[in-house]
């Protein structure tokens, strides 16, 4: 018997999932054809945020590759748009003039990003954030331009903003309301979120309505209805989406906001169905995958002629995909008539939890800072569960994160919200199919296949189910999405195979992308330079812009110059030179830095080499992943409390370790007594003078993640301080992940472990030998550029470098 012809319009997440469900039911029922306007096989749109944030690559987000279509005998037409449906003849026509008939037709055309209809919205440099093309455009822009404006402080806008920050851009988020994510959060959670994102570097302009996007040939800024304006090289519109219904409407299918469907996803036209963001069910259009996948399952069963439950709508929950921020929202998250709420607000821990209750049952929830109860709350909402005394008690117990979440879950509890996979289903699959990794669970059950937010829970379930046989190694963190190897594996391979160049590492170790990404290139460059001191030639194109130009780029595109002043001590002669240079080159601002140095701000790029030459002082490395400064207090030379000569030790340390490249920046301080005027407690290495010696603190941080340093040891002499600091630094260089500050590294590997390594005389000796080798290979970069004409030309005159501009 001839198979029925099934055609899918829209090769996106909802439509293809529905096809997968159909194939699961009966592979041979239909002759399937799929049309997709985009030139790609089906990919995970959700992970575009992760691609922009540098955590994965475009190559990694394909969900069904070309082979999948071939193996399932699906005719696929990509880059081809269906422009007409003839419902009488049961035929459709594409923009390439192709005509195809159908017995059953599924429309899954998704949404279109809403572009504000303001003057200038069509200018070069204005984009939506919806597909691979938009994502690539933003990544390309970030290589050349500096200032981004994101219009819309919803989920998409904030995820885009985080990505652009990661790409080295400065980001203003423009939001029309007075608080962010008003569609998911209440004002309290929203303000906590804003505070956290501001710490990450985002700038918010609230209650701002865009009037115009201006610029000559391309976008130069955004003007608001209140008359104010901001500069911008890139404008990202993230102000919501509109169901893509044009084709259906023009073909005479009933539409409202979306294509109207019943509980079996049928439109008003026989044999035509709609699923996904383009469909409107009981007056609701969904914009998250979980409900779309539920729809797809119902439609698949219905279309295959299986008796199925009707689709009755979904309670949705959301989580923001920005690292370091835990936010969860579900159901009716705002109190209203007939509802009351239970709230817990722990200002110290930055945790806020709220559940909204109607007639004794939970109908909504908002969590900030600790979202571990999100899944459980969502289940309670789904099951219409009453609020018991036991629930209230556990809700008020703040430290729920310390418990293993999976152990307390019921088998029917959903672990993966996007794909509706329960704990029971995952455990059963692990046992029945002998699954060992998150990826295997994903391939078998779909859990963690969409936003990836449940990966942690899936890993916990593996550990919980497999017990001792669980292989933690399999859960490794890879360098980035371009490889399946972890940092340690990459380093081991580099050593074993004696790989010497970034490109060589990528090629020999089977990188998925030819060029790598902004995460792996600088990391590989660092690992190679650490492994082959004096031999490896630094690859400029793999460096972040500040390190390439040996100066920090400023908000207005100018640069800053910070000369080295050992221990924060200067002379009249140095000050005179600095003043002369500042006058001669019209330096608009001279400022003292937090690290006790002088910063010449607002310097033009082309003036940098001349200024360095005239200053004739070493680079202060204020831009580098290296030792920045050693801050010192005045010490016993002048201070009556001083027990030691902190200034002399600070100068000695700075002279010793300057220019040493490290996984991230390193700050040091020396105070001559426990009053700690140089703030030694919040430095990567902080030295405090005590009676008869020095205390060495490590892993302190005064930045976003405030952390007091741990006492590593107490020593008697300045020589011992230098020796212990050197061993600590070298071990950090050799074992930390690139871009991991000492504060994180110390926490990850543990102080005891660090002590075990560097207190062992033989290991310390070896570390110090390798450190000396690395130090011998360093040179002053400013001097090198001043003395090398070619470098000046390539870097400072011919600066449309084809290399990434990153942070
Ligand atoms: C950056 C980003 C992050 C997101 N993060 C999350 C998240 O964390 N969690 C979550 O649940 N959701 C998230 N979403 C939303 C989620 O991606 C969408 O809900 C989902 O992709 C919608 O699936 P769909 O199949 O309905 O539409 P789409 O995935 O948009 O697919 C529709 C496809 O149809 C094609 N098409 C349209 N018209 C035609 C035509 N006439 N002919 C042929 N082809 C056509 C389109 O080109 C498109 O490829 C995110 C979205 C974005 C953009
Ligand atoms: N983590 C996730 O679940 C996730 C991530 C990204 C996108 N998405 C989905 O993708 C879709 C698009 O996301 P979105 O954030 O664009 O949609 P959205 O509708 O959720 O949010 C748009 C935001 O833009 C604001 N806005 C509207 N007009 C504005 C204006 N003129 N100026 C400034 N702000 C304005 C709105 O107040 C709203 O907060 C949604 O369906 C969303 O659920 C989900
Ligand atoms: S840390 Fe102690 S010695 Fe140094 S300046 Fe402060 S009080 Fe004086
Ligand atoms: S919760 Fe999104 S993939 Fe599991």
The pick from 7, 8, 13, 52 for probing ligand 1's pocket by mutation, whose C-beta has the most ligand atoms within 8 angstroms, reads 13
Contact yes or no for 219/210 (Cβ under 8 A): no
Higher pLDDT, 630 or 510: 630
pLDDT, mean of residues 393-399: 65
The pick from 448, 457, 459 for probing ligand 4's pocket by mutation, whose C-beta has the most ligand atoms within 8 angstroms, reads 448
Tell me what pLDDT residue 472 has.
Answer: 64
Nearest to 412 by CA among 377, 454, 379, 455: 379
pLDDT, mean of residues 720-736: 97
* C-alpha gyration radius of the chain: 30
Using a 6 Å CB cutoff, which residues line ligand 4? 416-419, 447-454
> Which pLDDT tens digit goes with each residue over 557-587?
789 999 999 999 999 999 999 999 999 999 9
Tell me what pLDDT residue 60 has.
Answer: 82
Nearest bound ligand to CA 150?
2
> Which pLDDT tens digit goes with each residue over 767-777?
999 999 999 99
Claim: this prediction has a pTM higher than 0.80: no
Residue 489 confidence (pLDDT) above 70: yes
Residue 301 confidence (pLDDT) above 50: yes
Nearest bound ligand to CA 177?
2
Tell me what pLDDT residue 473 has.
Answer: 56
Q: Which residues are annotated as a binding site for siroheme?
A: 677
Q: Which two tokens stand for residue 697?
A: 């603190």
> Which pLDDT tens digit goes with each residue over 521-543?
899 999 999 999 989 988 877 77
pLDDT, mean of residues 452-463: 88
For residues 738 and 745, give the distance between their C-alpha atoms in angstroms, rounded to a whole number. 10
Residue 451 confidence (pLDDT) above 50: yes
Q: Which residue has the tokens 């020796």?
A: 723
> Which pLDDT tens digit goes with each residue over 188-247?
999 999 999 998 889 999 999 999 999 998 999 999 999 999 999 999 999 999 999 999
Nearest bound ligand to CA 258?
1
Query: What pLDDT band is residue 400 in, cutting at 50, 70 and 90?
Result: very low
> Which pLDDT tens digit goes with each residue over 114-151?
999 999 999 999 999 999 999 999 999 998 999 999 99
Nearest to 621 by CA among 650, 645, 601, 599: 599
Q: What is the DSSP string of 282-307?
A: TTB---SHHHHHHHHHHHHHHHTT--
Q: How far is the CA of 314 from the centre of ligand 4 (A)?
A: 16
| CB 157 less than 6 A from any atom of ligand 1 | no
Residue 158 alpha carbon, nearest atom of ligand 2: 15
Among 58-72, 123-137, 478-492, the range with the most confident prediction by mean pLDDT is 123-137
Mean pLDDT of the chain: 91
Residue 12 alpha carbon, nearest atom of ligand 1: 31
Nearest bound ligand to CA 378?
4
Q: How far is the CA of 203 from the centre of ligand 2 (A)?
A: 17
pLDDT, mean of residues 638-648: 93
The pick from 644, 669, 677 for probing ligand 3's pocket by mutation, whose C-beta has the most ligand atoms within 8 angstroms, reads 677
Q: What is the DSSP string of 94-131?
A: ETTS-EEE-SEEEE---EEE-----TTTTSBTEEE-SS
Q: What percent of the chain has pLDDT over 90?
A: 74
> Which pLDDT tens digit goes with each residue over 586-638?
999 999 999 999 999 999 988 999 999 999 999 999 999 999 999 999 999 99
Q: Which two tokens stand for residue 68?
A: 């999948």
Phi, psi of 265 (to 5 degrees): 65, 25
Residue 799 confidence (pLDDT) above 70: no
Q: How far is the CA of 209 from the centre of ligand 4 (A)?
A: 34
pLDDT, mean of residues 664-680: 96
Tell me what pLDDT residue 474 has.
Answer: 61
Tell me what pLDDT residue 801 has.
Answer: 38
When mean pLDDT is compared across 382-386, 420-424, 577-581, 765-769, the lowest value belongs to 382-386
Query: What pLDDT band is residue 802 in, cutting at 50, 70 and 90?
Result: very low
Tell me what pLDDT residue 475 has.
Answer: 63
Residue 110 alpha carbon, nearest atom of ligand 1: 27
Domains, the chain, in order of start with CATH, read 4-111+243-303 (3.50.50.60), 126-239 (3.50.50.60), 405-472 (1.10.10.1100), 487-542 (no CATH), 623-779 (3.30.413.10)
Nearest to 453 by CA among 341, 367, 562: 367
């Amino acid at each position: 018997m001839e198979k029925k012809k099934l055609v899918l319009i829209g090769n996106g997440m909802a439509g293809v999932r529905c096809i997968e469900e159909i194939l699961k039911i009966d592979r041979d029922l239909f002759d399937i054809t799929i049309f997709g306007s985009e030139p790609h096989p089906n990919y995970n749109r959700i992970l575009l945020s992760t691609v922009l944030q540098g955590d994965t690559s475009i190559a990694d987000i394909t969900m069904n590759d070309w082979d999948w279509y071939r193996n399932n005998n699906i005719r696929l037409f990509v880059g081809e748009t269906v422009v007409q449906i003839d419902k009488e003849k049961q035929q459709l026509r594409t923009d390439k003039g192709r005509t195809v008939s159908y017995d059953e037709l599924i429309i899954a055309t998704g949404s279109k990003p809403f572009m504000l209809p303001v003057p200038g919205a069509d200018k070069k440099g204005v984009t939506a954030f919806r597909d691979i093309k938009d994502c690539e455009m933003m990544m390309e822009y970030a290589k050349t331009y500096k200032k981004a404006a994101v219009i819309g402080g919803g989920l998409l806008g904030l995820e885009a903003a985080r990505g652009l920050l990661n790409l080295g851009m400065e980001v203003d988020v423009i939001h029309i309301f007075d608080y962010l994510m008003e569609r998911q959060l209440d004002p309290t959670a929203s303000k906590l979120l804003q505070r956290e994102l501001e710490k990450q570097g985002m700038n918010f302009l609230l209650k701002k309505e865009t009037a115009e996007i201006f610029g000559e040939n391309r976008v130069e800024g955004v003007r608001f209805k209140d008359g104010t304006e901001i500069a911008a090289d890139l404008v990202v519109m993230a102000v919501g989406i509109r169901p893509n219904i044009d084709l259906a409407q023009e073909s005479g299918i009933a539409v409202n906001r979306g294509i109207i469907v019943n509980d079996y996803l049928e439109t008003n036209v026989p044999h035509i169905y709609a699923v996904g963001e383009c469909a409107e069910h009981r007056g609701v259009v969904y914009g998250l995958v979980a409900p779309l996948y539920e729809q797809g399952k119902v439609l698949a069963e219905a279309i295959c002629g299986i008796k199925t439950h009707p689709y009755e709508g979904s309670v949705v929950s959301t989580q923001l995909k920005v690292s370091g921020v835990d936010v969860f929202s579900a159901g009716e998250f705002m109190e209203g008539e007939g509802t009351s709420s239970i709230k817990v607000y722990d200002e110290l821990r930055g945790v806020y939890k709220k559940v909204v209750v109607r007639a004794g049952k939970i109908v909504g929830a908002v969590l900030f800072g600790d979202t571990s109860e999100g899944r459980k709350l969502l289940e309670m909402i789904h099951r219409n569960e009453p609020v018991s005394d036991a629930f209230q008690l556990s809700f008020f117990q703040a430290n729920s994160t310390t418990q293993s979440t999976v152990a307390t879950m019921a088998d029917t509890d959903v672990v993966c919200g996007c794909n509706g996979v329960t704990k029971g289903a995952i455990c059963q699959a692990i046992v029945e199919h002998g699954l060992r990794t998150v990826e295997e669970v994903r391939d078998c059950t779909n859990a963690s296949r969409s936003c990836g937010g449940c990966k942690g829970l899936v890993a916990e379930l593996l550990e919980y189910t497999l017990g001792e046989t669980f292989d933690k190694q399999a859960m490794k963190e890879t360098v980035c999405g371009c490889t399946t190897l972890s940092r340690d594996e990459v380093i081991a391979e580099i050593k074993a195979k004696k790989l010497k160049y970034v490109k060589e590492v990528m090629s020999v170790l089977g990188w998925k992308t030819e060029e790598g990404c902004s995460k792996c290139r600088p990391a590989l460059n660092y690992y190679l330079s650490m492994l082959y001191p004096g031999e490896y030639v630094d690859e400029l194109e793999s460096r972040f812009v500040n390190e390439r130009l040996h100066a920090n780029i400023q908000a207005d595109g100018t640069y800053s110059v910070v000369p080295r002043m050992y221990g924060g001590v200067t002379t009249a002669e140095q000050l005179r030179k600095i003043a002369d240079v500042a006058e001669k080159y019209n330096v608009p601002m001279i400022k003292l830095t937090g690290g006790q140095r002088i910063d010449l701000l607002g310097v033009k790029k082309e003036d940098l080499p001349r200024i360095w030459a005239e200053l004739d002082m070493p680079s202060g490395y204020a831009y580098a992943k290296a030792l920045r400064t050693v801050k010192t207090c005045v010490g016993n030379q002048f201070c009556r409390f001083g027990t030691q000569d902190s200034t002399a030790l600070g100068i000695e340390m700075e002279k010793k370790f300057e220019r040493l490249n490290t996984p991230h920046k390193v700050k040091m301080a020396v105070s001559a007594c426990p009053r700690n005027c140089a703030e030694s407690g919040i430095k990567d290495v902080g030295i405090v003078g005590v009676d008869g010696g020095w205390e060495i603190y490590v892993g302190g941080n005064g930045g976003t993640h405030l952390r007091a340093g741990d006492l590593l040891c107490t020593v008697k002499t300045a020589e011992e301080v230098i020796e212990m600091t050197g061993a600590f630094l070298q071990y950090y260089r050799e074992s930390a992940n690139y871009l991991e500050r000492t504060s994180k590294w110390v926490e990850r590997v543990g102080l005891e472990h660090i002590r075990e390594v560097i207190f062992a005389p033989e290991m310390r000796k070896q570390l110090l030998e390798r450190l000396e080798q690395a130090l011998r290979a360093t040179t002053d970069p400013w001097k090198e550029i001043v003395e090398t004409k070619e470098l000046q030309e390539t870097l400072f005159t011919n600066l449309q470098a084809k290399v990434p501009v990153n942070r």
